[in-house]
Amino acid sequence: MTERVDFYVLRSAAGRQRWSFACRLAEKIQLRDLRAVILAATDEDARELDTLLWTFSDRSFVPHALCGADGAADPATPVHLTANAELAPTADVLLNLSDRMPPGTERFARIAEIVDGDEGTRTRARERFKAYREMRVPVQTHMLGDGDGGGEDG
């Protein structure tokens, strides 16, 4: 059952800032010995995120794997990437980089909705915010500046 949803709202709409933030957040999650699923908008985005997780920091390593229809996800891997949440294993945290309401939210204790400054992205995020509220899931919003490292508050 989902205990909480956090909306991380980034000021900028520049490039792949949402993805970089997701990588940093995934790193913090796995360092706490928790499991995460990163839900990408498309399979191509999931593959690009796979590459970014290898390169986003020269001082860290985030063990991760792509999961898809071709095989079962390894439950020992702390971070999974997918464009289809139904194929992902149950995890502690779902990081949503898609613009849609993720299916099977009850399989994740927490959900992190990562939203950038793009008006279309924000409009769709507001719709998800309302949907979570209607589901009676506690929702918190974190407004982050351009230089914010995206600290996770627990």
pLDDT tier for residue 60 given thresholds of 50, 70 and 90:
confident
What does the alpha-carbon distance between residue 80 and residue 136 come to, in Å, rounded to a whole number? Answer: 27
Task: Domains for the chain: give ranges and CATH numbers.
Answer: 4-144 (3.40.50.10110)
**Beta carbons of 3 and 110 less than 8 angstroms apart:** yes
What's the rounded mean pLDDT across residues 66-94? 84
**Beta carbons of 39 and 22 less than 8 angstroms apart:** no
Looking at residue 110, its pLDDT comes to: 98
What does the alpha-carbon distance between residue 121 and residue 139 come to, in Å, rounded to a whole number? Answer: 18
What's the rounded mean pLDDT across residues 46-71? 86
What's the rounded mean pLDDT across residues 51-69? 86
DSSP the chain: ---EEEEEEES---TTHHHHHHHHHHHHHHHTT--EEEE-SSHHHHHHHHHHHHHS-TT----EEE-BTTB---TT-SEEEES-GGGSPPEEEEEE-SSSPPTTGGGEEEEEEEE-S-HHHHHHHHHHHHHHHHTT--EEEEEE-TT-------
What's the rounded mean pLDDT across residues 80-88? 90
Looking at residue 138, its pLDDT comes to: 97
What's the rounded mean pLDDT across residues 120-135? 96
One-letter amino acid of 128: R
